[in-house]
Structure 1
C-alpha cells in the first residue's frame, strides 16, 4: 500500500510469461540489448525486479528500466538448486551493506545499548554489536554523516559521539539548541 498508483511497468507482462514458461528473452536494458534467462520476479516497495541469469551469473534488473522485451521461442534449463527467496535475501543484504560508506564511534549508556537494535541500520547491526566495548563504545557503519546525525538524535542523551569530529559538533550544536528551546 505504500507503492502509490503507478501502473505496472510495460515489460512486466512479457517477463512474467517468460518466467512461467522458462523462455529466454532478448531485451533492451539501459541502452544495451541482452539475452537473459529469467528466473523470477520480485516486488519490493512497489518496484518490480527480475532475477535472471546472464551467461553464468545471476543478476537483478529493475523491470521499469527495460525497453523492448521479446520472449524467444527457445527455452532454458533452470539451475536445479536456485532458490529465488535465498538469492533475493543475499543480494538485498549485499546492497544494503554497500550503502554503508562511513563509520562513526559512539559511547552508549546502558539504555543506549538497548536502543541500538532500534536505531542502527539493520545491515550494520551485527558488526556494531560485535564492536561493543565494556564501556559502551561502539563503531557503527552508516550511509552518510546526515543519516548518522538523525540516528544519533534518536539516542538523545543516551549516546555521546566520539568520532568523527564533524558529527560530534553537529550533535553538540543540536543539543545546545534543544536545551535553549526548553529553557524558554
Structure 2
C-alpha cells in the first residue's frame, strides 16, 4: 500500500539521514520513478523533504524534523510488544533502557492500538535460550489458535494432553497466563487447580477455549509464573559428566544442539582435527542423542555410556543388515 511506503520512506530518512533514491527504491522494492513520485507526495503533504543533486546527492529531511509512529497498524503495534525475556535484556545491561523505550513507543501509538499492545506484552514471552536436553524448534500444533484465543480473551482452556513422562493422555481445565516461545518451542503457562504448570503446545491432542472467564491467582503475571517454572527445570542437577571429542567441521552444528550441556571450561583443540569437550547430562538416557552425530562425535568417558551407545549402534546395524 502506498501509505505504508510513504511512512517507510519517512522513517528511513529520519533514521538514516540522506539516502540515494536508488537505495530507497531497492529497499522498498519499487522503481526510482515511484520513489520520486512518493517524495513529491510527501512534500505536498507538508513534510520537509528535499532532493540533493550531484554524485553525493540523494533525498533528505530538513534537519531537526521528527515524526511519531502513528502510522503503525494494530498488528505492527502488537508485534513491537512481543518481548524477549527480561533476563536477555538484563544480561546486556539494557533492562532499564528497554522499559523506557517501550513507554515511549506506547505513548506514541494511536490510542486505539494501546490496549492490544499492552495485552500482548503481558501474554507473550520470547526466551531464546534452549533447555538442556530438549530438542530444537517444533511446530506449535494444529490447535494453536485455541491457545491464543484463550490467552488473549482471558478464558479458561480445556486441554487433552499427551504427557512426556509416560506418553499417557489426560484432560485438564486450565487458567492460562500466556504463551512462551522457548528457543522455537511454544509452551502454555497456566494454573491447574491453582498450581502453576507448563504444557508444550505440540503435545496437545485437542484444545478448546471455554466460555468461562480465566481464574488466575491475584497479583501473578506471565513473567512471574514463567520464572518459577523455568527455574524448576533449569535447577535440576546434571550429575553425569561426559567427555567427548568432536570433528572440527561438525563442531558448530554440535554446539547448536548441545551448548546448554557444556560444562564450565574451554574446549580443548587436538592436532588431529578434533576438539575435546566436557558435557553434563541428567542421565545416560539424556546423553543418548550424542549417537545422532554418528562417527563425527566420540564419547571418551564414562565407560557405561560408551557401552550403551555401542549396544544401541549394534542393534541399529542388526535391524538394517
Structure 2-normalised TM-score? 0.32
Distance 2:260 2:207 in 1: 37
- 1:9 Cα deviation from its structure 2 partner: 1.8
Give the corresponding residue for 1:67: 205
- 1:20 Cα deviation from its structure 2 partner: 1.1
- 1:91 Cα deviation from its structure 2 partner: 1.9
The correspondence of residues 78-97 of structure 1 with structure 2, limited to 5 A, is 78-97=216-235
* Equivalent pair of 2:178/2:190 in contact (CA under 8 Å): yes
Give the corresponding residue for 2:186: 48
Higher RCO (Cα < 8 Å, 6 or more apart): 1
Distance of aligned partners of 1:76 and 1:93 in 2 relative to their CA distance in 1, 3 Å threshold = closer
Alignment coverage as a number of residue pairs: 121
Give the corresponding residue for 2:195: 57
Distance 2:207 2:188 in 1: 13
Give the corresponding residue for 1:16: 148
Give the corresponding residue for 1:153: none
- 1:103 Cα deviation from its structure 2 partner: 6.8
Alignment counterpart, residue 161 of structure 2, candidates 25, 29, 33: 29
- 1:38 Cα deviation from its structure 2 partner: 1.3
- 1:29 Cα deviation from its structure 2 partner: 0.5
Distance 1:39 1:8 in 2: 17
Distance of aligned partners of 1:65 and 1:7 in 2 relative to their CA distance in 1, 3 Å threshold = closer
Distance 2:237 2:148 in 1: 30
- 1:88 Cα deviation from its structure 2 partner: 1.7
Give the corresponding residue for 2:239: 101
* Equivalent pair of 2:139/2:202 in contact (CA under 8 Å): no
Distance of aligned partners of 1:37 and 1:64 in 2 relative to their CA distance in 1, 3 Å threshold = same
Distance of aligned partners of 1:77 and 1:91 in 2 relative to their CA distance in 1, 3 Å threshold = closer
RMSD: 3.7
Q: Which runs of 5+ in 1 are unaligned?
A: 105-119, 126-140, 148-165, 168-184
Which structure has more strand as a fraction of its residues? 1
The structure whose Rg is larger is 2
1:4-52 per-residue CA deviation (whole Å, 9 max, x = no partner) reads 6x65421211111101111111111111111111111000111100011
- 1:96 Cα deviation from its structure 2 partner: 2.0
Give the corresponding residue for 1:38: 176
